Amino acid sequence: MRSVVGDIMPARLRRGLKKFGEDISVARRKRRLTVAMMAERVGVAKSTYLRAERGDPKVALGVYAMVLFILGFGDAMTDLIDTRKDDQGLLLDAERVPKRVRARKVPTSS
């Protein structure tokens, strides 16, 4: 079955993934690591690793996570969606706070 992720992905997101892949490539080269070395450390084929460097949206998130870890950006995945920094989520939580709280009546037994 063919994935349609690339077909429906907004152009802005596609550009962001492409830049992400390019940044991975630069970081790898700065560390003087070859594509073969990275692929071996990540545990994927060279072709899969190269797809990650191109920002292919069909590459598994786990591959990107391992690449970041190997390059020394291990905390990047941890901080990616920090609920304490989720402004929209915090606003939604604030909207759900009840205006009043009433104690529940406990039935008395006779």
Cα–Cα distance for residue pair 109/54, rounded to 1 Å: 71
- pLDDT exceeds cutoff 70 at 1: no
Q: What is the mean pLDDT of residues 27-53?
A: 98
**What pLDDT shows up at residue 96?**
82
Instruction: Provide DSSP, 42-98.
Output: HTS-HHHHHHHHTT-TTS-HHHHHHHHHHTT-THHHHHTT-GGG-HHHHHHHHHHS-
- pLDDT exceeds cutoff 70 at 50: yes
Cα–Cα distance for residue pair 21/109, rounded to 1 Å: 69
- pLDDT exceeds cutoff 80 at 5: no
Domains belonging to the chain, first-starting first, are: 5-96 (1.10.260.40)
| Percentage of the chain modeled with pLDDT above 70 | 95
